[in-house]
Amino acid sequence: MQRLPTATTAGAGIVATALLVALLLVSVLPGASGGDAGPPLGGRKMGFAGETAGVLARYFNKGANVEAAAAPPGRAPAPPPPAVAGTPAQFRGQPLLPRFATPRRYDLRIRPDLVACTFSGTAAVAVAVSAPTRFLVLNAADLSVDSASIRFRDLAPKEVVFFDDDEILVLGFSKDLPLGEGVLSMKFNGTLNDQMRGFYRSKYQYKGKMKNMAVTQFESVDARRCFPCWDEPAFKARFKLTLEVPVGMVALSNMPIANQTVAGPIKTVRYVESPLMSTYLVAIVVGLLEYIEGVTPEGTKVRVYTQVGKSNQGKFALDVGIKSLHLYKDYFGTPYPLPKLDMVAIPDFAAGAMENYGLVTFREVALLFDEESSAESSKQSIAITVAHELAHQWFGNLVTMEWWTHLWLNEGFATWMSNLAVDSFFPQWNIWTQFLDDTTAGLKLDSLAESHPIEVEIHHASEVDEIFDAISYDKGASVIRMLQNYLGAERFQKALASYIRKFAYSNAKTEDLWAVLEEKSGEPVKNMMTTWTKQQGYPVINAKLQGNYLELEQAQFLLDGSSGPGMWIVPITVGCGSYYTQKKFLLKGKSHRLDIRDIASQCGNQEKGGDFWIKLNINQTGFYRVQYDDKLAAALENALQAKKLSVMDKIGIVEDSLALSIACKQTLTSLLRLLYAYRGEADYSVLSHINTVSLSIAKISVDATPGLVGDIKQLLIKLLLPPAVKLGWDPKDGESHLDSLLRPVLLVALVKLGHDKTINEGVRRFSIFVHDRNTSLLPPDTRKAAYLAAMQNVTTSYRSAYNDLLKVYTVSDEAEERGRVLSTLCYCKDKNIVLESLNLLFTNEFRKQDAYYVLQGLSMETRDTAWVWLKGNWDLMAKKYGDTQEGSFIRYVTTLFTSNEKAAEFSRFFATRKKPEFQRTLKQSLENIWISARWIQGIKSEPRLAQTVQELLRRP
């Protein structure tokens, strides 16, 4: 699943609960003995007695495959689970379903009513009972199950109990069930909800009328909202679906249509039975759609489905999809497993995209590219998203994580693979340099005490959604890049292909991947990578020059300035004066001493001025930061000015410096001096990072140095203006893709920094655009800057530009343009306009999925208005948007503040509104406020900051 552009280990209370559950299980589960089937509760031992942990592991039996014939080679079959007696209540509060009964095959018949927005269905599930029990325990939520219809081997249950908090259905029978396979059948019905999860409705216009579309989104734990099921990744089964839909509707599922019949107004569509797959990958789409199609070199039919009239916008995605399937077939050494692949643009969609097996669903903006209204950046985003989801067809769908603890095996690899694929298709885009955006996002989140390991323990289904974050995706992808760089591309690829073949159609955990990589490479992969996946955080490598020796020491880096206890096996790369000779080694302990004369001749003579420099983490392939002593830092700055460093290293140096400044390990004064060394830079990726660092400095200076904030902004404008002037507002014939990406980045930054000339030009072009939508003066790439500029002059009494923007939103039917408008409506100094924009969130003027666009426009100037609004409307917001979006409201509003007092106010407000769905986000947001408050105090104590700003402003 592709998350949207953005947003801890479990607390002691959860550990205590797990311990209590373990002790209870020891007392109620007879026959609990035998071998351990795998680490309990998501892969990490929790400190309770080994015997108790073994009982948990055997009870949940996570390592056992649900179909013996599909058990991966080399893995011993799991022992049979213990017999279970007792009452239905014993199954409450468990992180996983019991393994004494497992599904083998689902036969589902579902009939959606697109007018009433309801659905009904029947399920016949082949279930294998492997231990004496009188219970069947499965997941169901927001469904009405007809208790009288339930049968297992013609037996009616004595008890039918729903536990809503755990979203489980417990069927209790009067006697032990026969061992072996039998069919569980039942009838059920539900509502096509408006929450964009489970089986839900999406709205679209057709011939001027609003229509409903039925869509599924099951990841992570929402298949249970469509049909009763064993809704965990390890319960792989085969699925045979039948849909009953209105004649004239397109009905799609994972597999091709086997046959269809028509009776009156209803069309019955039967699909080919699927291979083994997890419930979260099942998919259904029903609506009025059209498509374009192509075929891979291997003969697989690929289609892009859209609303009627938009299929032409799917051409670019179709091309990338066909190329991706072909590339992955070769890279993984395994053909695409299904006979077809459909990609569907969904008008209402919570995530960016979802990798359902054979039926991939997307937000419209993530799949459709329109030459007239789409920005150049959208083309790149679409390519990455399509490649990401199709990588999942192997990494995630064919080989699936055992439990959500191993989510990163899906998302980290798909993120990394998508960059590999797009770099192959579009080498001129320099994707691996841009990948450092992902690495930076991972480093930022993982420098919080409230971060979490890559392998995070999941104790309850309600916790899963919060780990679809920069750790699972960006850190996961970054440590894969680090490992590939250490092992070498060829060895790494061959090992991955072996892993895919070994675990195809089954489940795997992180240790399985390490075992294969270690076997194929002969390197200590498990020992090294365990330090990166099972503990949170990462190191900062402190580098100090003592004579001819480079002394290195690692410590866990935290943005709050403290040093954590973490220790890593770190792949170190060192260059000295040149990129031609490098030193590579593993830092296995806390410190290391390196004779720099062994690296290169330039290091033998440290008096050569600009020829001497030492750079660690060459091209930023490692997931760590570096802090240099003063001499090494000065030499690097000289090398930077002399253009001796690679683009990736330029990015790494400034990003490390910003992080060290926030942590008060370096001064803002030194960071500004370093930034000035980038004056004259022209590369898109470098300037993109310089831009981000500049806006961070501008933001913190509002509270840290209010008297100096104007001069600091002028200094940052001085840095960003020359490349912006060179590019101008108008695209040039034949200009590069990267120049097209850079222009809006610089123009938006200059508007936000208050550059009058840029704002005035933006207002001028917007005025022309309002009267002539086809003008060449405001193409899609530069509209955001012009919209922001126009909003700068909006007030309650002078709101014509605001009204014009609302009209642009209303008349546009392109998701990208509508999002562009929404993201600017709150960027205004007038609090009444901001309130009016926020209140749009409670109207039906836009789709729920787009709420985060509106929140993106909030600024420091109107943060108090936003907080008062959020407090006053929290209950209404929570009701309308549900559990899955509350975290976004918290993150976008609270992190505008920088004082401990405000953090305390937020804590008090949310103390009585806690939910597991956003607890991690809340804690991280509060920690970011505390970090900003500490940074401000450090900045206020810098004696030379004002003098340095004036000095740099005077420089030519």
Catalytic sites, residue numbers: 389
| Beta pairing class for 143-145 and 168-172 | unpaired
Q: Residue for token digits 């001819």?
A: 548
| Greatest C-alpha distance within the chain | 90
Cβ contact 171:152 at 8 Å: yes
Q: What angle is formed at CA 794 by the lines to CA 788 and CA 797, rounded to 5 degrees?
A: 170
Rounded-to-integer distance, Cα 822 and Cα 820, Å: 6
User: Which 3 state secondary structure label does DSSP give 806?
Assistant: helix
Residue type, 160: V
Q: How many residues does the chain have?
A: 956
User: Which 3 state secondary structure label does DSSP give 142?
Assistant: coil
Cβ contact 243:251 at 8 Å: yes
Rounded-to-integer distance, Cα 848 and Cα 194, Å: 9
| Cα 926–chain centre separation | 21
* Tokens found for residue 580: 């031609």
Q: Where do the DSSP E strands lie in 55-158?
A: 101-113, 118-129, 135-139, 143-145, 151-152
388 labelled ligand-binding:
yes
Cβ contact 616:599 at 8 Å: no
Rounded-to-integer distance, Cα 555 and Cα 908, Å: 34
Which residues have CB under 8 Å from 533's CB, separation 6+?
408, 453, 454, 455, 479, 510
Which residues have CB under 8 Å from 947's CB, separation 6+?
none
Which residues have CB under 8 Å from 624's CB, separation 6+?
538, 539, 540, 541, 554, 557, 568, 570, 617
737 labelled ligand-binding:
no
Which residues have CB under 8 Å from 420's CB, separation 6+?
331
* Tokens found for residue 201: 């409705």
Kindly report the three-state secondary structure assignment for every residue of 378-407. Answer: HHHHHHHHHHHHHHCCCECCCEEECCHHHH
Rounded-to-integer distance, Cα 695 and Cα 17, Å: 44
771 labelled ligand-binding:
no
Cβ contact 193:142 at 8 Å: yes
User: Using the 8-state DSSP alphabet, how is residue 701 labeled?
Assistant: H
The sign of the torsion formed by the CA atoms of 694, 697, 702, 708 equals: negative
- Report whether the peptide linkage leading into residue 220 is cis, meaning its omega lies within 30 degrees of zero: yes
User: Which 3 state secondary structure label does DSSP give 653?
Assistant: helix
* Tokens found for residue 806: 């609302």
Rounded-to-integer distance, Cα 508 and Cα 524, Å: 20
Cβ contact 672:715 at 8 Å: yes
| Cα 805–chain centre separation | 30
Q: Within 13 A of 447's CA, how many CA atoms are on the CB side? A: 27
Give 587's strand partners.
Answer: 570
Q: What is the DSSP secondary-structure string of 218-235?
A: -TTTTGGGTS-B--STT-
- Report whether the peptide linkage leading into residue 591 is cis, meaning its omega lies within 30 degrees of zero: no
Cβ contact 125:257 at 8 Å: no
Which residues have CB under 8 Å from 790's CB, separation 6+?
762, 763, 766, 801, 804, 805, 824
Rounded-to-integer distance, Cα 531 and Cα 479, Å: 11
Residues making up the annotated binding site for Zn(2+) are 388, 392, 411
